[in-house]
Amino acid sequence: MNYSRTIEKIFIYVCLAVVIVAILFPVAWLVLMSYKTRSIIFSLPPPLFFNPTLENYVTTFIEKEYFRYLLNSLIIAISTTALATSTGSLAAYAFSRFRGFIADNHFFFWILTFRMTPAVVLIIPYYLLWTTLGLYDSHLSVILSHTTFSLPIVIWLMKGFFDGIPRDVEDAARVDGCSWFSVFLRITLPLSTSGMAASAILSFIFSWNEFLISMIITRVNAKTLPASITGFITTRGILWGEMAAVSVVIMIPVLVFILLVQKYLLRGMTFGAVQ
């Protein structure tokens, strides 16, 4: 019996090790490539040891305009997160507390289906809309486009949290003279901080990593870092070192953000799923 359990544990650990290596190997390869020169990248066979250099980072973020694209990504991601979380929480509260058409399950499902719509379906409508309004290649157009995709998941998560809050607490506040908005702002919202954190994380990750919409409706002024990666495909070939440097920088904010608030993300996703 003990022998079979030992074999079972060894098998599980081996499987876990294989999965971890499969996940981390591309990331490690990308990071190492960002510290290589072009000649080392194309060396055959690839050298196991080399002198790391920051040449790709210096070329990309100092000599070129990619630092500007980094700032654009931060502005757009933070603004999208704030807008989607605030408006989505209000909508979720209405779905949770008010009865009638706005709280109808079919209407709620219709909102969720928008999140399932592929972004490529809305590319042409978005392009025509922002061009007609004179907002093409602006931060506002990208923020609003990203918000429309983040809102459904925020509404779904927050509605689950609001449904789990006893209404007796809100009724007591209403008896004391609080308005619906005061109850929401002072009572309900503080009890849903985990849901707010989870919603903010998911909105930030989506906006930060989004590629297709940002590539089509921006050119220079509002171009984000993921959309700028296409600039490394030139007539002379692909600039793998500089592309790797930008990719590493793209990963850092998301990893740091998740590590800081991962407990809220796990709690929020679990609670929302149960509800």
Question: Per the CATH hierarchy, to which homologous superfamily does domain 56-274 belong?
Answer: MetI-like (1.10.3720.10)
Find, among 129, 142, 138, the residue nearest to 80 by Cα: 142
What residue type is assigned to position 96 of the chain? S
Give the DSSP H/E element, type plus range, for residue 89. Answer: helix 66-97
| pLDDT 10s digits, 153-174 | 898 888 888 888 887 777 787 7
**275 — pLDDT class (breaks 50, 70, 90):** very low
How high is the pLDDT of residue 143? 95
Which range, of 47-61, 97-111, 198-212, averages the lowest pLDDT?
A: 97-111
Query: What is the reported pLDDT for 178?
Result: 76
pLDDT(122) > 50: yes
Residue 199: pLDDT over 80: yes
Over residues 217-245, the pLDDT tens digits come to: 998 889 999 998 888 888 888 888 889 99
CA distance 118 to 211: 13
3-state secondary structure at position 100: coil
Residue 141 one-letter amino acid: S
Q: Cβ of 76: how many Cβ atoms within 10 Å?
A: 25
Using CA atoms, how far apart are residues 32 and 27, in angstroms rounded to an integer? 9
Q: What is the reported pLDDT for 264?
A: 67
Question: What is this structure's pTM?
Answer: 0.83
Mean pLDDT of 2-19: 85
- The identity of residue 261, as a single letter, is V
Domain ranges of the chain: 2-34, 56-274
Give the model's pLDDT for residue 217: 92
- Token code pair at residue 124: 């042409």
Q: What would the two tokens of residue 60 be?
A: 């990309």
> Is residue 269 over pLDDT 70?
no
How many other β-carbons are positioned within 10 Å of the β-carbon of residue 84?
A: 28
